[in-house]
Amino acid sequence: MTNTNDICSNRHGGNEQSQAANNRNKQHREAQRRQVYELIKQSPRTMKEVAEAMGVQLNTVSGRGSELKQRSLIEPTGEVRGGSAVLRAIVPQPTPVASQQKPTTPEWINDRTAYLAAASDLLIALGRVLQEVK
């Protein structure tokens, strides 16, 4: 089973030293992952182009690309440039919160005759309740 927090867990089998190194570098990797994502979001690129834009070696950022693919934040465009796959960002779409969703209006409210009939029935029922209270 792949550990989503450690892209290399299958390679090292989860030994203690590798896990400790993984934990020490989490913040740095997260910052790199954001930078890689933002570069690809600006315009589709290969990982080679990302490394070049960041001024680092390809092996420094290739793991971040794998993590972003695993999280479905980037995907190949189908284009190949310089022998490498061109990647594009997948921008997550926010899901509306219940409070932001417009309430649905019952159909009878839009029908004036039905609305007046419902209002009339409500007033008659209210009158009966008031008679019982007296």
* SS3 state of residue 120: helix
CB atoms within 10 A of CB 80: 11
61 and 103 Cβ atoms separated by less than 8 Å? no
19 and 82 Cβ atoms separated by less than 8 Å? no
pLDDT score recorded for residue 28:
87
pLDDT score recorded for residue 125:
83
Mean pLDDT confidence for 108-124? 74
Q: What is the mean pLDDT of the chain?
A: 82
Given pLDDT bands bounded at 50, 70 and 90, which one contains residue 120? confident
46 and 55 Cβ atoms separated by less than 8 Å? no
With a threshold of 0.85, does the pTM exceed it?
no
Residue 56 confidence (pLDDT) above 80: yes
Residue 61 confidence (pLDDT) above 70: yes
Q: What is the CATH number of domain 9-89?
A: 1.10.10.10
CA distance 39 to 27: 19
Write down the domain spans for the chain. 9-89, 103-133
Of 113 and 45, which is predicted with more confidence?
A: 45
CA distance 17 to 1: 19
pLDDT score recorded for residue 114:
72
